[in-house]
């Protein structure tokens, strides 16, 4: 097997409206299952106009997944049925395990300038879909910054980079989540575990993924990378900033309807019956 990862597939993010009317860009989602397994969806919400996001994501259920909200700039007020209340600010991360069932809301607040954030959905295996929900609030000051060379900066949210571990640990799916910034004319080398699914989402500038790549990937594009043990990323005349995410595929059937992801249609039907009858939240 080739040790070097290269671009296997490129997707342009698609305009989508979610929640109560939030305009966002979907990098991948329902129609890409199971290509990104164990990851289900990545949404990029960004705008200078509060009207595009202020309606937010009012109370809604989740089961069978984890949702990861990462704010680049801006604030989101949140609440859930675990009793958590608070604000996700610029640079903060909310890693929520819905497990057997949770209700929550996420309400972006007006922001002067270009607000931007991401939400990643991580699938849970059948053995953990009904686990007890949990919530982790990670402040920007808790996320380590690693600079392997001048002009390359890596924020380690989950997983490891250059011997530094991210603050999100004890995950069901051992995901790696990095936020990588590069100035022009730099090279970034990263060891990746063979067999893991790896993708990159560019949200600023342009970067070339793979040692022999000749076509740069620009903003609002996601690259699904081939298998291998090494990844090389280069910048030419422009800087770049991108999310680099990886994890081991689960390899199980996916039954997905709205905010709930299970393994079978029967499990989905039960989840929605429980939701509408007020029995969704357990314990």
- Give the pLDDT score at 125: 98
281 vs 117: which has the higher pLDDT: 117
Closest CA to 83 of 257, 251, 281: 281
Identify the CATH homologous superfamily for domain 7-276. Answer: Jelly Rolls (2.60.120.10)
Q: For residue 283, name the pLDDT band (cuts at 50, 70, 90).
A: low
Closest CA to 159 of 147, 151, 167, 149: 167
Question: Strand order of the sheet with strand 197-205?
Answer: 7-12, 221-225, 197-205, 240-247, 176-182, 152-158, 145-149
Mean pLDDT of 172-196: 97
Reported as a single tens digit per residue, the pLDDT across 209-226 is 998 889 999 999 999 999
Distance CA 70, CA 185 (A): 27
For the question of whether the overall pTM of this predicted structure is more than 0.75, the answer is yes
Q: How confident is the model at residue 117 (pLDDT cuts 50, 70, 90)?
A: very high
pLDDT digits 0-9 by tens, 78-97 = 999 888 899 999 999 999 99
pLDDT at 186 over 70: yes
pLDDT digits (tens, 9 = 90+) for 34-76: 999 999 999 999 999 999 999 999 999 999 999 999 999 999 9
Is 60 exceeded by the pLDDT of residue 169? Answer: yes
pLDDT at 267: 98
Q: Which two tokens stand for residue 77?
A: 């007020």
Give the per-residue pLDDT at 2. Answer: 63
Cβ contact 89:140 at 8 Å: yes
């Amino acid at each position: 097997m080739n040790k070097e990862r290269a671009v296997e597939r490129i997707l342009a993010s698609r305009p989508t409206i979610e929640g109560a009317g939030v305009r966002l860009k979907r990098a991948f989602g329902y129609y890409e299952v199971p290509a990104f397994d164990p990851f289900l969806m990545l949404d990029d919400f960004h705008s200078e106009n509060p009207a595009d996001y202020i309606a937010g994501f009012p109370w809604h259920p989740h089961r069978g997944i984890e949702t990861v909200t990462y704010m680049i700039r801006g604030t989101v007020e949140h609440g859930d049925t675990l009793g958590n209340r608070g604000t996700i600010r610029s640079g903060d991360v909310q890693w929520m395990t819905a497990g057997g069932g949770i209700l929550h809301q996420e309400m972006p607040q007006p922001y002067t300038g270009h607000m931007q954030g991401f939400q990643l959905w991580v699938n849970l295996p059948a053995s953990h879909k009904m686990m007890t929900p949990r919530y982790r609030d990670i402040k920007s000051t808790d996320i380590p910054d690693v600079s392997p060379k001048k002009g390359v900066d890596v924020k380690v949210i989950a997983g490891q980079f250059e011997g530094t571990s991210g603050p999100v640990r004890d995950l069901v799916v051992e995901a790696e989540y990095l936020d990588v910034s590069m100035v022009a004319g730099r090279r970034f080398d990263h060891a990746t575990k063979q067999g893991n699914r790896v993708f990159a989402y560019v949200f600023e500038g342009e970067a070339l993924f793979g040692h022999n790549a000749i076509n740069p990937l620009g903003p609002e594009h996601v690259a699904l990378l081939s298998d291998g043990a090494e990844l090389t990323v280069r910048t030419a005349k422009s800087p770049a900033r991108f999310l680099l995410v990886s994890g081991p595929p689960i390899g199980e059937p996916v039954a997905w309807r709205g905010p709930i992801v299970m393994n079978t249609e029967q499990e989905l039907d039960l989840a929605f019956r429980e939701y509408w009858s007020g029995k969704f939240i357990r314990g």
